[in-house]
Structure formats: C-alpha cells, structure tokens
Amino acid sequence: MPDFQRRELLVQGSAALAAIAALYTSRRAYAFPTRPSEEVIPWLDQPTENPDPVGIQKQLVWEDLDSWITPNDKFFSISHFNRPTIDEKTWSMEIGGLVKKPLKLTLADIKARPRQEVVFTVECSGNHGFPFFTGGIGNARWAGTPLAPILEEAGVLENGIEVVFFGTDKGEVAIRDIKMQQNFARSMSLADAKNPDNLLCYEMNGTALPAANGFPLRLIAPGWYGIANVKWLERIEVRDTRFMGLLMARDYVTIREEERNGETVWTESSVGPARIKSAPAKVTR
C-alpha cells in the first residue's frame, strides 16, 4: 500500500483527496465518512513524538476524520500555563478598566442573555510549524452570548482603544532579571472586540465546554487564530494603550522580510487574524 506526503499530494493532486478547509465563518458541516470498501492510505510524514504532552493535548489525527465537526473528546487543547479547575458555582467574570459601569457576571447571568451559535474552526497559529505539531486544529459548533452588547452595557469610555482578555490560568514569567506570576492574556482593538460574531462561549457541540477547552467560559472570535480565543476567562479590561503582555509583544510575534525602495526591511507584528488555508486531510482508495 503506497504512502503519501502532504506536500507531494498538493503538487500532484488526487481524486481521492478529502481536504479540510479553514472554516473561519459559519457554514453547514458536511460529513465525509470512509465507505466500507475504502481503506485509508497513511501519510508518510507522520508527526514526531510530542515533547510536551501536558501542554499540547489531543492533536487531530487526520486519517481518522469522518465529519466536519470535531467531537469534544478529540478536540485539541493547548495550555501555556496551568490548566485550572474551576467551580462554576463560585466563578464570575469581571468587565472593568475604562468603563462607566464595571460589571461582575456569573455563569447564570451570562446564560440568561441572548444565545448565539457559530460553527468555527479553531487553529493554533503554530500548527504545522514543528514536526511534532500537525494537529492543532478542530472545527466545532460554539454557543454563547455576544460580547458586544456587554461592552455596550459597561459603557466604554472615549479614551478606551484596547480590550484585554485575561484567563484564569497563570504561570511564572521572566522579564529581564525579574520573575513574576502572570495570567494568560491576549488583546485586540476595541473595534475588533465589538465584532458582532464574537461570543462569550459556554457551550461546545451542544454540551458545556470541556475543562480542557475553557470551562466555564471562553472567548470565541471567528477569524482569529486559537491564541486569541482565550480560555478560562476571568476578566475583560478596557485600556487606553496597546497591551504589551508576554503573548502579545514577545511570544506569538511574526518576523517578515519586505522590500521597500530596493532595500530589505524586517517587520514584526503580533499574531492576530487568521490566514485562510487548506490542508490535505485523508486519502482513500
């Protein structure tokens, strides 16, 4: 039985290719089950051993795909710090910073608000960036309440330009010679945060968010890489300056070469909105 490399297949093409596309907007989920008479041809370029099984869990196995919706128990999960255990009875989320009316919401408060659903593929921006990391992607049906009306209710002040999302997860960070504890945090502009598609999400594929995927509440920002879809939310803060946290200004920063007036210029930018791409998923015969 022949083996294939993904790069080779993309160049040569195949009538038996099932490709999973980056579904950064809502769409109907179509299944592509393997027929009883078919056999899956394994990829030659299998991922190497995962060096961080605690931080990187449940990578997608491309050959096992049989639906556009990834089951919760097979959905990838990445944690940069700890994986918090949260009691929803005592949990709450704050909305503060440069707002007229700070809010503190329980899960019941959030669930009592209008419900919205979106089918969205979450992909880590580092997916396929390492030999061991080829399955940092999954497609799910997410449900929650829109973020924009909550920001409107809090009343963002005129000088507010940036919205920071803090997770409950935290870890030690070294800055120069100083070590400190920091919560996971990512930000986006106020205009991006007020996108009507953004959800404060508490449901995944019809059930409560799994602990590994952000229970009890996470941000779902369709069109953004996984790093922006903050899990285990505990605080949303409006600021009047750009947020320069670890995962905005130091990690998850791209370096790109550009030609300007005949000269080479290197530019840095924080990873943000996702780039549309597709990848060969499964070949059968």
- Distance, in Å, from the CA atom of 38 to the CA atom of 90, rounded to the nearest integer, reads 51
Q: Domains along the chain? A: 6-284 (3.90.420.10)
- Distance, in Å, from the CA atom of 274 to the CA atom of 52, rounded to the nearest integer, reads 24
Mean pLDDT of each 10-residue bin along the chain, 285 residues long = 43 36 34 65 76 84 84 92 94 98 98 97 78 83 98 98 96 81 92 98 98 98 92 98 74 71 76 69 69
Task: Spell out the residues 6+ positions from residue 129 whose beta carbon is closer than 8 angstroms to its own.
Answer: none
pLDDT at position 26 is 33
- Distance, in Å, from the CA atom of 140 to the CA atom of 130, rounded to the nearest integer, reads 24
Residue whose C-alpha is closest to residue 284's, from 3, 9, 17: 17
CA-angle at 29, arms to 70 and 278, nearest 5°: 75
pLDDT at position 24 is 35
Extract the runs of DSSP E, i.e. beta strands, from the chain: 17-21, 40-41, 56-57, 77-78, 93-97, 103-105, 116-123, 137-146, 162-175, 178-189, 199-204, 207-208, 218-220, 233-239, 253-260, 263-270, 278-284
- Distance, in Å, from the CA atom of 275 to the CA atom of 223, rounded to the nearest integer, reads 8
- Distance, in Å, from the CA atom of 159 to the CA atom of 181, rounded to the nearest integer, reads 28
Q: What separation, in Å, do the N-terminal and C-terminal C-alpha atoms of the chain show?
A: 10
